Amino acid sequence: MALPPDFDPDAPGTDSGLYGLPFQADDARVVVIPVPWEATTSYGRGAAAGPAAILAASLQVDLQDLDYGDFWRQGVALDAEQPGIRQLADAVEADALANIEATLPAARAAVDRMVFRVAALVGRNPAGATVAELSAPDRLPTPPEELALGRPVDLLNRRPDLILSQSSLQAAELRRTSAWLGLAPTLQLSGFTGDQGQLLGADATEWDWVGNWQVGLNASLPFFNGGRKLAAARGAAASARAGRFDLEQSTLNAVQEVEDSRRVLQQRNEELAARSAQVQAARLAFDESKAQYLGGTLPYVNVMTALSAAQSAELAHIQSRRDLVGAWITLQNALGAPWALDLDRPRGGSTGGGR
């Protein structure tokens, strides 16, 4: 295509074409294909308006190039938008939105299962428990900033594994004591007392009585099986030492589990607060985009994108609630104590603030 005789490359650009050039896609050597695609964007909006923005900005670009000269004379044009491209982008975005919606029932079901587990833990019938009541944030026990867990020794009276370790240690110590006692000499003390009488005189008519008594002490040592008993005593002592070490290590592990559970619980509370703020912000953005669409200032695809973001935030919030309930269950298991909806209520007989 020959340039119009009145075309001035140094004049301000007009809206006749890309860079203000009077070329069409059929007679240009360089053709720019516009793709107004929005469906796969993950941050912000506006990719679909990219081709129009490029066309508008190109009018401000100087055609002079020191390296390539007047290359634009070969023809540079912006092709027409392909029909159906925007509809295809809307369809892809709608499909992504549907995929997010499809995951919400499974997430809600997971929360319900966790709530049923909580109901069983608090002694309520899961089948008759009110899901909304148990899963409401104000029904979840809220710990103080510094949750009083009591002394580590309190765990010995609550955790079944530590109670079992204590019983095993006591049994081992009894076996050790019994084995060492088996090596001690066996002492036997015996004695008797009595009277002895005899007849005197020729006619044997008079009795003569004499009192007798005797005391004896016998001692015996395990001579033949002493080695076996000594080995058994040493084995029992080793078992007692191992049992004490196991109890100490189990107690330290229990304390670690409690501290880990407390930290996870704190993390879950912080995550839930952040997710709640995200849900609120996403809902406000959705309401704003819907209002702008109804006012004619935004396309409907923006409303769908805002809805998708709001549902993604809701899904993340549901998962955070489920994680929070799981963190509470983990903490209660670590404490070895029964679940209580009111953790601030002290239990009877507790010392040291244990809950």
223-239 residue pLDDT tens: 666 677 778 788 888 88
- The first and second tokens of residue 104, run together, are 């919400």
Residue 186 sits at φ, ψ, to 5 deg, of -95, 120
Model confidence at 136, pLDDT cuts 50, 70, 90, reads very low
| Cα separation, 225 vs 223, whole angstroms | 6
Percent of the chain with pLDDT over 90: 1
Kindly state the average pLDDT of the residues 208-223: 68
Are the C-beta atoms of residues 120 and 134 closer than 8 Å to each other? no
| Cα separation, 201 vs 207, whole angstroms | 9
- The first and second tokens of residue 347, run together, are 């239990």
Instruction: Write down the H helix ranges in 193-337.
Output: 226-294, 300-335
CB atoms within 10 A of CB 31: 15
- The first and second tokens of residue 9, run together, are 């490359």
| Cα separation, 61 vs 290, whole angstroms | 37
Q: What is the largest CA-CA distance in the chain?
A: 183
- The first and second tokens of residue 113, run together, are 């299962």
What is the pLDDT at residue 44? Answer: 65
What is the pLDDT at residue 32? Answer: 92
Q: What is the pLDDT of residues 58-108, one digit of tens each?
A: 888 888 788 888 888 888 889 988 888 888 887 877 777 777 778 778 777
> Which residue did the predictor score with more confidence, 91 or 13?
91
Kindly state the average pLDDT of the residues 120-134: 58
CB atoms within 10 A of CB 179: 20
Q: What is the pLDDT of residues 284-340, one digit of tens each?
A: 888 888 888 888 777 777 788 888 888 888 888 888 888 888 888 788 778 775 544
| Cα separation, 18 vs 25, whole angstroms | 10
From the options 1.10.357.10, 3.30.43.10, 1.20.1600.10, 1.10.10.60, give the CATH code of 108-177+226-335: 1.20.1600.10
Q: How is the chain split into domains, by residue range?
A: 18-82, 108-177+226-335
